[in-house]
Amino acid sequence: MNIENAKSQMRKGMLEYCVLLLLKSKPSYASDIIQQLKNAELLVVEGTLYPLLTRLKNDGLLQYQWQESTQGPPRKYYALSPLGERCLNELDDAWSELAGTVNYLKDLH
Amino acid sequence: MKKNITINLSGRLFQIDEDAYEMLKSYTESLRSAFGKQDGGDEIVEDIEARIAELFDELEKNGVAAISIEHVKEIITRIGDPGELAGDNSADEADSNNTWEEKARNAAKGIYDSARERIKGKRLFRNPNDKVISGVLSGIGMYTGTDPIIWRLLMIVLTCFSAGFGFILYIILAILIPEAKTPDERLMMQGIEVTPNNIANEVVDNDNKVHDYGFLRTFFSVIVKLIFGFILGIVIFTIGIVLLSLLLTLLACLTALSLPVSSEIPSSLGALGLTDLYATHPAVIIVFVVSIIALLAIPIYGFIHWLSTHGKPEKKMGIAQKTILIFAWIAAILCMVPTGMRIAREGFAKNNITIESLLHEIDDDNTYKFSYDSLVVTNSDSSKTVVIKTR
């Protein structure tokens, strides 16, 4: 088993959930999200985020607004849509379940 | 010293070295072709371009006067490899296919293995860097890891001994196989992994490539080009004439189909051979008409599609779509020829029945009987033609 591959698969699976989580508190634009994901050591290459954001937006989980910025052209600020919030709640539950399962298995020994 | 240009990236202006620009351009082209087929692909690429602009902005704030190739390389590594970014979803499928491939490999060793090894990681493209006509055979040589001269000689032999089938095959292949235009396509053609570094090398190499083939190759190339051009000219001319006459036939058929079963037609239309059509069953004419429409519409559609997507590689037709169109076109020919022959045979054979030739068979009580599919009655001065159908 390729350990690096397994790790990146895990990260990939979580990325969607984490992006929704980040956007729950306040709307952000792509570079903010990138910075936060990098701080959390979740993102290796930045390019992965853009297809993800577009997909979530097309699925109706996210919506965006153009906002003027003090430096340079306007930016796209992404925020959760009502559907996205519902989806996030479900993912929250799924995550607690998963974490519970993993902890349970870990504590067996 | 390096030449420097100004580019507009997401509405901001940047000073950038020429080689760095080339690299950036090939990277965004690769992104475009990788994301092009996806939903919202353009948007993704625009967002990434905006991100690149932002990173450039940061560089400028840190006192970089002109962006160099090193900066671009760094940013490309940071953002990631186009194929990997776009292929996110297919990664899992590839894993599950692995076992099947393994089985297949174990099952058929030998020739299969070595052939596979040769084309491993490669994709079939027309090779623009070594072409006689359009690079099809050179591309096949590249794909199979063989010398293109073998394929060229084979094709010439095939064309000479198969009444031109090789020529038609070549045209079909040239339509089906895309040309390797962007640097990443050229890498895939050669079976080199598409990484930012390799793309950069390919961009630099391709510009420095000197085409010097020697006398024999040049001579061969010129002769083949001349013969090919000559045949192509004849073929295009013939096709043009055939298509034009098909268009006229189509108009005649449509007129005939739209007229009621028994009706008067002006003799000018009768002269076009319209009355001949009434001898044939309408179903045959309908099949004939539909196949002519397909025969005319498919190339026109292809041409318009090609024109409208010129310079937008991500919108080009896929091989599957092209194959379907070509098969539909061949099917249209196969439908048109027999129905057309039937119309010609039946029409011209039977419409010679005229009242004059039957007049002396009329009985004393002024009635007569005979059987007919359709009857054409023409005035003695040919001013009026009436068609009577049994159907």
The domain spans of chain A are: 3-107
Give one word for B382, left, alpha or beta, with left for phi > 0 and alpha for psi -120 to 50.
left
Give the pLDDT confidence score for residue B375 in this predicted structure: 62
Distance CA B258, CA B20 (A): 65
Residue B13: both structure tokens together: 């202006």
What is the mean pLDDT of the segment spanning B78-91?
Answer: 67
Q: Is the pLDDT of residue B310 over 50?
A: yes
Give the pLDDT confidence score for residue B355 in this predicted structure: 46
Backbone φ and ψ for B365, nearest 5 degrees, come out as -85, 20
What is the mean pLDDT of the segment spanning B49-57?
Answer: 89
**% of chain B at pLDDT higher than 90:** 1
Query: Contact, B262 vs B284, CB < 8 A?
Result: no
Query: Contact, B42 vs B198, CB < 8 A?
Result: no
Q: Place A97 in a pLDDT band, splitting at 50, 70 and 90.
A: very high
∠ Cα B4 B8 B10 (to 5°)? 145
Tell me the per-residue pLDDT of B175-223, one tens digit each, with 9 for 90 and over.
Answer: 888 888 777 788 888 877 777 777 777 777 766 665 666 777 788 888 8
Q: At what angle do helices B18-35 and B41-61 cross, to 10 degrees?
A: 150
Torsion of CA B150, B154, B160, B161, to 10 degrees: 150
Instruction: Tell me whether 0.90 is exceeded by the ipTM.
Output: no
Distances in whole angstroms, Cα of residue B192 to Cα of each of B32, B137, B181, B187: 20, 20, 15, 5
Give the pLDDT confidence score for residue A89 in this predicted structure: 92
∠ Cα B271 B272 B275 (to 5°)? 75
- Better pLDDT: B334 or B317: B334
Residue B116: both structure tokens together: 């596979």
Give the pLDDT confidence score for residue B373 in this predicted structure: 54
Tell me the per-residue pLDDT of A3-16, one tens digit each, with 9 for 90 and over.
Answer: 878 887 888 788 88
Tell me the per-residue pLDDT of B216-273, one tens digit each, with 9 for 90 and over.
Answer: 778 888 888 898 899 889 988 998 898 888 888 888 777 766 665 555 555 444 444 5
Beta bridge partners of A28: A78
Query: Contact, A77 vs A53, CB < 8 A?
Result: no
Nearest to B40 among A31, A47, A54 (CB): A54
Closest chain B residue to A12, measured at CA: B88
Contact B80 A45 (CB under 8 A): yes
Query: Contact, B56 vs B62, CB < 8 A?
Result: no
CA B295 to chain centre: 14
Contact B86 A51 (CB under 8 A): yes
Q: Is the pLDDT of residue B105 over 80?
A: no
To test the contact with chain B by mutation, choose from A54, A55, A63, A69 the residue with the greatest count of B C-beta atoms within 10 A, namely A54
**Which residue is it, tokens 């570094």?**
B197
What is the mean pLDDT of the segment spanning B153-164?
Answer: 85
Q: Place B39 in a pLDDT band, splitting at 50, 70 and 90.
A: confident
Query: Contact, B225 vs B353, CB < 8 A?
Result: no
B25 touches chain A (CB under 8 A): no
HSE value, Cβ hemisphere, 13 Å, CA-based, for A78: 26
Say how many residues make up chain B: 391
Q: Is the pLDDT of residue B120 over 70?
A: no
What is the mean pLDDT of the segment spanning A15-31?
Answer: 88
Distance CA B389, CA B278 (A): 7
Name residues whose C-beta falls within 8 Å of residue B132's C-beta, 6 or more positions apart in sequence: B138, B152, B220, B221, B224, B225
DSSP state of B13: E
B37 touches chain A (CB under 8 A): no
Mean predicted lDDT score pLDDT of chain B: 75
Q: Which sign does the torsion angle of CA A62, A67, A69, A75 carry? A: positive
- We find that the CATH architecture of domain A3-107 is Orthogonal Bundle (1.10)
Count Cβ–Cβ pairs < 8 Å, chain A vs chain B.
60
Query: Contact, B172 vs B122, CB < 8 A?
Result: no
Write down the pTM of the prediction: 0.46
Nearest to A54 among B44, B53, B57 (CB): B44
Give the pLDDT confidence score for residue A100 in this predicted structure: 92
Tell me the per-residue pLDDT of A46-74, one tens digit each, with 9 for 90 and over.
Answer: 888 888 888 889 888 898 888 887 777 78
- Better pLDDT: B309 or A76: A76
Give the pLDDT confidence score for residue B267 in this predicted structure: 46
Q: Is the pLDDT of residue B93 over 50?
A: no
Domain boundary assignment for chain B: 4-88, 115-211, 230-351
Nearest Cα to Cα of residue A40 among A21, A25, A62, A64: A21
**Which residue is it, tokens 């004439």?**
B241
Contact B80 A30 (CB under 8 A): no
Q: Is the pLDDT of residue B371 over 70?
A: no
